[in-house]
Amino acid sequence: MARPTSTSLSTLLIFLFSCLGKAQHIGTLVPERHPSFPTQLCTASEECTTRQTFLVADALTRHFHAISDPSISCASFETISNATLCPDAATCAKNCALEGVEYGSKGVSAVGSAVTMRQYLFDGTTHRSVSPRLYLLAEGGEEYEMLRLLNQELAVDVDVSQLGCGMNGAVYLSEMEVTGNRDEERGNTAGAGYGVGYCDAQCFNTVSWINGAPNFNQTSGACCNEMDIWEANSRANVFTPHTCASPDGCGINTYNLGHREFYGPSAENVVDSSRPFTIITQFITDDDTSTGTLVEIKRVYVQDGKVMENSKQTNNEKVGGIEGGYNGVITEGYCAARNRSDFARLGGMEAMGEALGRGMVLVFSLWNSEGDFMSWLDGDDGQNGPCGETEGDPARIVRESPAVSVTFSNVRWGSVGSTFGQGGSSNGGSTGGGDDNGTGDGVFQAGVIKGGSTRLMVDGLWVGVVVLVVMIGLV
């Protein structure tokens, strides 16, 4: 995800070598029960097949402790600096174990084909920030689902109506390793089933563990290619490809480009973020095959059955001067007009396409930022969105609107045009339903859906139902 930082390709090499020969174990205190999250794979014939996929929480959001004493956390730099527990990387990893999680206690509720995530949970006294991050697991729940999207499209129904300034409900792709670097012979039994192996283009060196290995020197980063499908709240949004170690990437924010009425929480906006809608992201190649070179990344919206292309309006003279004109899509010409030199230097659209062809892991997250109040997304003196200087301050968010949440549902991918015809959710903005399978301890139930026509995946069929899901314990 797009956060201001700096790094270099050498960081990637450090990261790759730091991960060899290490182990990470599964604890026995809390069992892991992955929330069911069915998705669909669609074809050009407009047929979609339901896949019994799952969600898994990130490894570093779990209870990660010394095997000899569960009260000792292995998650901090202070702990891994303990010469007794962690005299070397291999011993340190063998001495620590990851536990399962109760997903309700992480602000996560999976209901049918929908997942709702909350930033804060109320314990009766205070609101605790949980900032969930989830990955899509393949059928069987042992490996990540690898989405190979070159010359394909990805569709997701979103509801950001409960996200104001400073919040970021994100859907993105990360080129993580399919098993989460699980290695039974070396003793690394956790892997993808416990959310191990996260990486992105930001290459943060502030995490204490990378790919199941302790990050002793605090200079290594978990680096890989990243495709931000959707970073948004109800006030602004952006979609951005990031080649590895290209933190800025090359994104489109319609507000920043000058069409300020295109997206927002009103019926006056072209896309009304106060109600659910569908986002479709298409990855077009030069020869319309899955082996071609990526040349365009397109965004399409569907709301109330109406299909809408991304805005083509801009007041940016360089963007408007692109050869052939600006068409609301990401191309090499667009990135050159935006002077995204790092993105181009690190491979640009071609490298992003190669990653999409190899396969990437789908990620869902919800977060805010004390450092910059998310102004790069929705503020910055009115450049990126309408939010004021301090509206995104997490302290203000938790004080004024602690019930912030986001819902993603009806995830489907396949041939271009296949996910929002007869085989996909054609009305746009529908939200899954069904039994709650991810509440864990019952602290948090499903997020508010303001009634309406809902589509459920049952035995591979779409069934129209009317659903009212009530949020419990929000205040």
350 C-beta neighbours (distance < 10 Å), count = 14
Q: What percent of the chain has pLDDT over 70?
A: 82
H or E segment to which residue 369 belongs: none
DSSP per-residue codes, 147-204: E--TTEEEEEEEE-TT--TT-EEEEEEE---TTTT-BTTTTB--GGGGT----BTT--
Instruction: Map tokens 């956790």 to a residue.
Output: 190
Three-state DSSP at 397 gives helix
Name the residue among 110, 159, 120 with its Cα closest to residue 449. 159
Q: What is the C-alpha to C-alpha distance for residues 23 and 213, in angstroms, rounded to an integer?
A: 7
CA distance 310 to 176: 29
In this prediction, residues 128-141 reach a mean pLDDT of 97
Spatial contact of 157 and 419, defined as CB atoms under 8 Å apart = no
Radius of gyration of the chain (CA): 21
With 80 as the cut, is the pLDDT of residue 184 above it?
A: no
pLDDT-derived band at 25 (thresholds 50, 70, 90) equals confident
pLDDT tens per residue across span 382-415: 999 999 999 999 999 999 999 999 999 999 999 9
Q: For 195-234, how does the pLDDT look when each residue is reduced to its tens digit (9 = 90+)?
A: 999 999 998 878 888 877 888 877 778 899 999 999 999 9
User: In the predicted model, is pLDDT for residue 147 greater than 60?
Assistant: yes
Answer yes or no: 231 catalytic: yes
For the chain, percent of residues with pLDDT exceeding 90: 72
Q: CB atoms < 10 A from the CB of 167, how many?
A: 28
Q: Give the separation between CA 394 and CA 157, rounded to whole angstroms.
A: 26
d(CA 2, CA 302): 25
pLDDT in tens, 82-125: 889 999 888 888 899 999 999 999 999 999 999 999 999 999 99
Residue 428 near residue 306, CB atoms below 8 Å: yes
* pLDDT above 70 (res 302): yes
Q: Active site residue: 32, 99, 153, 231, which one?
A: 231
Would you say the C-alpha torsion 134, 136, 139, 141 has a positive or negative sign?
A: negative
Give the number of other Cβ atoms within 10 Å of residue 61's Cβ: 16
Q: Where are the alpha helices (DSSP H) in 197-307?
A: none
Cα distance between residue 246 and residue 200, in whole Å: 10
Helix (H) / strand (E) element for 252: namely none
Q: Could you say which of 226, 261, 332, 354 is catalytic?
A: 226
Active site residue 185: no
Q: Is the pLDDT of residue 246 over 80?
A: yes
**pLDDT band at 455, cuts 50/70/90?**
very low
Spatial distance between the Cα atoms of 468 and 111, rounded to a whole number of angstroms: 12
